Structure 1
Amino acid sequence: MAEILAMKRAPEAEGPILSSQEGDILRLTLSNPPANVLSLEAMEALQTALDSAAADKSVRVIVIAAAGKLFSGGHDLKQMTAHRADADGGKGYFEKTFAVCSVLMQSIVRHPKPVIAEVDGIATAAGCQLVASCDLAIASDQATFGVNGINVGLFCTTPGVALVRGLKPKHAMEMLLTGEMVDAATAREFGLINRVVPREYLAQVVNKYAQTIASKSPSALKLGKEAFYRQAEMGLAEAYDYGARVMVENMLGKDAVEGIDAFIGKRKPEWTED
């Protein structure tokens, strides 16, 4: 464990995604200036990095951040518009773009490792969808959020899937219908993000969250995250039945035995499962 905590992996570029690891925390940085758009290439690179992290036992928590003044301006509309010259008017390219995006967002929710969004600057359209899809989101006091497709004749339907699952429906619809940007304080009130912190402390606070989560049982985190999202899609009785089965499975696991023994013995637990 000490070797894992001491490990620091040098940043490496994966196309428009910069990947770096310190200890058991992996940072995936959108590095696609100036707007860090979620081009097809950016989404595929992020998907590849997430898939790799899922099987990497040295990674316990993932942070998605961004370089520059914007978190993400969403899909690359210039790239998409260029494909209107295709024989099918761009239909095939549009279908591929939204399919790749949908898989990416679902893979964050289904990922076995907790994913934290570190947001500074503007997060709009699919960029806001990315924030909403993460398990936790912490933003600087300079961050702003929006789903402003309606301003150019597009209702942000796919971002709406993520928003309505994290925000109250009327708050989600307010953002989708008006296309107006909301500040970080309002985004927190709406339930889009967890905390707002001064810009200069953003990375520090995110790292503290990540380290706290990384110190927990990997098997419990994996089991619990999956159960959290699955039960949310069920009716009340079904959710309780499912939740009880998961609790039994969790109780029978080695880490639960170790954790409870450590609690009773007033010592620090040593996790054995991942």
Structure 2
Amino acid sequence: PPRELGELNPAVSHGFCSTIVLNNPRRRNALSLPMLQSLRGDLLHDVKSRELRVIVIAAEGPVFCSGHDLKELSSEDDVKHHSQVFELCAEVMTLIQKLPVPVIAKVNGLATAAGCQLVASCDIAVASEKSQFATPGVNIGLFCSTPAVALGRSLPRKASFLSRYSSQLYKKLVALEMLFTGEPLSAHEALMHGLVSKVVPEDKLEEETAKICQKICESSKSILALGKATFYRQITQDLDTAYKITTKVMVDNLTLRDGQEGIEAFVQKRKPVWSH
């Protein structure tokens, strides 16, 4: 069964695909400090498992995630507490990209502020047609500065049809419009701008996400880990440096047992038997 957050239920192993469910719909699945602590724990729970290939983050209720719990950000709490909330949130978002397996956001509803940040931080995002995405902090006097980090980096990563120069300009314009106006993007607008990877009818969301998971689960964990780490390492570099990094990684990849197993299996026209 999926793991439930919000009640802080203990994490349960879920085989090749682990599903984490934000499960506090009465609070719009807000990323409260306890929710962030639980999310961090669940993300790390099975990370060393030889079986785990992919993690899915889903949510209960009509709101995927409304962002931070504003009650935790009032003047009644001190600066130390506020710092703890934002620092832990940043830790969770960066952890997602450091994990050795892909992380998929399965979105069926509204994702705002840090909730939009969570979607942008995931490696893949599948959304239902009714989903919406926004960074409306400007409207309440709290600019979405930390969500802007993930948002600004997500758009060029997914909008691969653009050149390096145009993608940088494009993501700047799209991200800043979201941040300055607080207006939501529809699911299809989010797809067009590269915030999500795929948009499907609500009744197909589970099926389409499962298809992606199944395809990922057919791959070697060691190769997935190498590929993911390399992608995020090279994406911030200039073109020449990126090719130097990835050229070495390709050579190193061939020294791995699963690298050779995959080639041998292809030549022999059989399914590979991965060591991980």
Q: Structure 2 length normalisation: TM-score?
A: 0.90
Alignment-derived partner of residue 252 in structure 1: 255
1:173 aligns with 2:158: no
CA contact (8 A) 1:258 1:270 kept: yes
Local SS of the residue matching 2:246: helix
Q: Distance in 2 between matches of 1:17 and 1:61?
A: 21
Q: Distance in 2 between matches of 1:223 and 1:189?
A: 29
Alignment-derived partner of residue 48 in structure 2: 55
CA contact (8 A) 1:121 1:144 kept: yes
The structural deviation recorded for 1:58 is 2.5
Local SS of the residue matching 1:54: coil
Local SS of the residue matching 2:206: helix
The structural deviation recorded for 1:79 is 2.4
The structural deviation recorded for 1:148 is 0.6
Select which of 70, 79, 95 maps to 1:107: 95
Task: Give the gaps of 5 or more residues in structure 1.
Answer: 1-9
CA contact (8 A) 1:63 1:118 kept: yes
Task: Give the gaps of 5 or more residues in structure 2.
Answer: 156-170
Q: Distance in 2 between matches of 1:16 and 1:165?
A: 32
**CA RMSD of the aligned region, Å?**
1.4
Q: Percent identity?
A: 44
Local SS of the residue matching 2:209: helix
CA contact (8 A) 2:4 2:20 kept: no
Select which of 224, 227, 232 maps to 2:230: 227
Q: Distance in 2 between matches of 1:12 and 1:125?
A: 23
What per-residue deviation string (whole Å, max 9, x for no partner) do you get for residues 104-126 of structure 1? 00000111110000000100000
Q: Distance in 2 between matches of 1:11 and 1:198?
A: 22
Alignment-derived partner of residue 134 in structure 2: 146
Alignment-derived partner of residue 212 in structure 1: 215
CA contact (8 A) 1:20 1:28 kept: no
Q: Structure 1 length normalisation: TM-score?
A: 0.91
Alignment-derived partner of residue 201 in structure 1: 204
What per-residue deviation string (whole Å, max 9, x for no partner) do you get for residues 51-70 of structure 1? 11211222111000001111
Task: In structure 1, give the amino acid aligned to 2:65.
Answer: S
CA contact (8 A) 1:166 1:191 kept: yes
Alignment-derived partner of residue 3 in structure 1: none
What per-residue deviation string (whole Å, max 9, x for no partner) do you get for residues 126-164 of structure 1? 000000000000000010000110110111111000011
**4+ residue stretches of structure 1 with deviation over 6 A?**
none
